[in-house]
A and B are shown apart, each in its own frame.
Chain A
Amino acid sequence: MDLQLPELNLLKMLPEIFLFLWALAIITFDLGTRRKTGATVGYLSLLGLLITGLILVFTGYGRGFGNMFYNDPLALFFKMIFLGASFMAIGSSFGLTNQKIVNHRGEYFALILFSTVGMMFLSSSNELLSLYIGLELTTIPLFVLAAFFKDNKLSVEAGIKYLVVGAFSSALLLYGLSFLYGMTGTTDILLMKVNLAVTQLKFEGNIGLVLIITIILLLAGIGFKLSLPPFHQWAPDVYEGSPTPIAAFLSVGSKAAGLVAFAKIMVNGLYAFYDPVMRPNDWGVLVGVLAAAAMILGNVVAIRQNNIKRMLAYSSIAQVGYIMIGMVSFNELGLASVAFYIFAYMFANMGAFAVVAFFEDKTGSCQIESYTGLAKSSPVLSIAMTVFLLSLAGIPPLAGFLAKFYVFAAAIKMAQAEGSYNWLYWLVGIGLLTSVFALYYYANVIKTMFFSDADSPYKLSFTLPVFTVIMIGLVGVFLFGLYPEPIMKFASEIPTSLGFIVD
């Protein structure tokens, strides 16, 4: 048998390669200077991310590694999000005075960068094997980061929970992938699409038990990464226990990675199964039910939380519900709205977590009550937090509103176009209804900060990196709320490049 070596075209992977080497260099630098570098490693990591972004812009579209590595609009868009999330996570870790982070800055920042490389690699992979490797490269550093406060019981508990759940979900995913490989005889996602259609024709559209099991396994595997109910229980615990910037990174970066995996395997790979001509909404309804569960459960349970990190965790579960509405409205607006949603969500959520991280570091508390009267003592911080929370709730001039609007618009458009997609109306209805609950608990925090007679005992002043992160968040939330066209235009290239018909 001869092995034909595919064309490598390594230049297309340059951003990933660069960032990986940069992360290694950071560890080496940190060790070489005997950990006396202070904040320098942090600034170096930020610089690395910026350079990677530049390289990314110049790399452009194309393929590498045979057909394993695609730089399509989907990959580029999500890489932007990963770099942004990583930038903001690192920025908000700067001010942290926790001894574990101060003494182990090198590993901490390098692990975030490694995880980012994994996400970037995942978003470019067009093949099950590289997709799986990317997913693992994303999560394994995050296990370590979640348990980073080694002698804090909460952090270690978060670490072990995340580890068991993460490994469990990737085992489920793998078992599903193995069946997919067996059914289609290939690991290339584009080829898989064709082969599945052929297999389906052979069995006259009777997809059989194996495919159902496969779809359930894949859904469970990715659902754990997305914290989609009923696979969500780990999320609040892990967010509460792990260092706050890591919780933020988990809720945006790792979630976006899950979404990419979902878009690639389910929406793109199993394309044949929702092609309206062949089989309408086979597993779409199932995902729709899970999305509804996510919105209801996330928003309702968030109301009774008094720890702000847990509240944000439940809110992020609810947000996944909204995102999944866009995912299951299989039209050209669907995937674009998903991409825009996660983009807007990144600014608001990373910003909110940056405020929480800063507050927690200065006061040692994550309870919502301790925000009482904060507006008087540190107005800028409270106003920033208010804007982020309002954007998460979806209040008009902010990016979060447009994101929700696009998602609902995609669903309604699909429901009107295809009679068999009537259930999307229900989903939109649930989405609108639960938004009201969401507004309640976000407004509760705002009320605590602004409308309270008690004075806050804390007087907080900004440090530069935290200020930068919060500013990036504010600018993003306002700018893309008022002027979404460029991002939306970019986002709408995603479905086209995946072969969706644009009408």
Chain B
Amino acid sequence: MLYYLGLAAVLFSIGLFGVITRRNVIGILMSLELMFNAANINFVTFNKFILNDGLTGQLFAIFIVVVAAAEATVGLAIVLLLYRNWRGINTDNVSIMKW
């Protein structure tokens, strides 16, 4: 079980690192997916090893997948708008507002 949790933790950390350091919006969205999937793995692992009598964790994981897909859809739509307005999706340029 610890291997699975470790895998999730590593995925989560990679995602966290990616969100913070990436300068490309698509990269950030991909890193966010990694973080969501880390939570997914956690849920399924806990469900399997700690409470193998219910489906709650698995159901939770499925719901997360659905919600993450919805978020990615909206996210990509906004990225498209970003591209139209800035001719690029690098976040360094996208900071008109400061302080």
Chain A interface residues toward B at CB < 8 A = 1, 3, 128-129, 132-133, 136, 140, 143-144, 147, 150-151, 153-154, 156-160, 163-164, 167-168, 170-172, 174-175, 177-179, 181-182, 185-187, 236-237, 240-241, 301
Contacts and interface: CB of A to CB of B under 8 A. Distances in A.
Contacts of A160: 25, 78-79, 82, 91, 94
A167 B71 contact: yes
Nearest to B47: A181
Contact of A136 (B28, B50, B71, B97): B71
Give the bracket for the number of chain B residues in contact with chain A: 35 or more
A140 B73 CA distance: 10
Contact of B60 (A128, A175, A237): A128
A265 to B, nearest CB: 15
B97 A175 contact: no
Give the 5 A-B residue pairs with the shortest CB-CB distance, closest first. A178-B42, A171-B35, A182-B46, A174-B39, A237-B97
A122 to B, nearest CB: 13
15 contacts: A128-B60, A136-B70, A140-B74, A143-B74, A151-B85, A157-B97, A160-B78, A164-B19, A167-B29, A171-B39, A175-B35, A181-B42, A185-B46, A187-B60, A237-B97
B71 A178 contact: no
Query: Interface of chain A, helix or strand or loop or mixed?
Result: helix
B78 A171 contact: no
B50 A178 contact: no
Interface in B46-99: 46, 50-51, 53, 55-57, 59-60, 63-64, 67, 70-71, 74-75, 77-79, 81-82, 84-86, 91, 94-97, 99
Interface of B: 8, 12, 15, 19, 25, 28-29, 32, 35-36, 38-39, 42-43, 45-46, 50-51, 53, 55-57, 59-60, 63-64, 67, 70-71, 74-75, 77-79, 81-82, 84-86, 91, 94-97, 99
The residue among A132, A144, A172, A185 with the most chain B CB atoms within 10 A of its own CB is A185
Given A157-B95, A175-B42, A133 B81 contact: no
Contacts of B42: 175, 178-179, 181-182
Contacts of B74: 140, 143-144, 163
Contact of A140 (B36, B71, B84): B71
B97 A240 contact: yes
B60 A129 contact: yes
A157 B25 CA distance: 12
Contacts of A147: 78, 81
Contacts of A179: 42
Contact of A157 (B77, B79, B96, B99): B96
Contacts of A163: 71, 74-75, 78
A143 B85 contact: no
A156 B67 CA distance: 22
Nearest to A213: B9
Nearest to A188: B56
Nearest to B53: A1
Nearest to A144: B74
A156 B57 CA distance: 36
Given A129-B60, A133-B63, A185-B51, A156 B85 contact: yes
B63 A129 contact: yes
